[in-house]
Amino acid sequence: MFFFLSFVLSMTDDNEPPSISCPPSQTFTVSCGLTSAMVRFPTATASDNCGTAVVRYSSSNLKFIAFENSTVSMIEAAFPVSTTTVTATGTDGGGRNATCQFNVTVVEGISIIESLHY
């Protein structure tokens, strides 16, 4: 008695980097005299044709910026009074990357005493 077994194996090469989309640039105002602000901003979204993509954030102005997984919808970090460019990098399971950037601007507001002088 002979048995024949046949099957078809289909493999997909992941040669395509993930796609990523950043939130829009945002501006926040802090009270006069403050040098930074805790800022919450929406996360970047990344997707991949072969699974999931992990998003990491970096900036030259910040010592630390949050790491995102798929369950996080907002990131919070301390930003100095200035414009900070944030780079979001999406990495897929094959190690391919895609990046996008957005700005977080923190400006010093006018205090109540200063506004009374105008």
Asked whether the predicted pLDDT for residue 112 surpasses 80, the reply is no
CATH 2.60.40.1080 at 19-110, yes or no = yes
pTM: 0.75
- Please name the amino acid found at residue 2: F
pLDDT per residue as tens digits for the range 34-90: 999 998 888 899 999 888 888 888 888 775 555 555 556 777 888 999 999 999 999
Note whether 114 and 31 are within 8 A (CB): no
Which value, in Å, is the radius of gyration of the alpha carbons in the chain?
Answer: 22
SS3 of residue 63 by DSSP: coil
**For the chain, what is the mean pLDDT?**
80
Predicted pLDDT at 11? 53
Asked whether the predicted pLDDT for residue 102 surpasses 90, the reply is yes
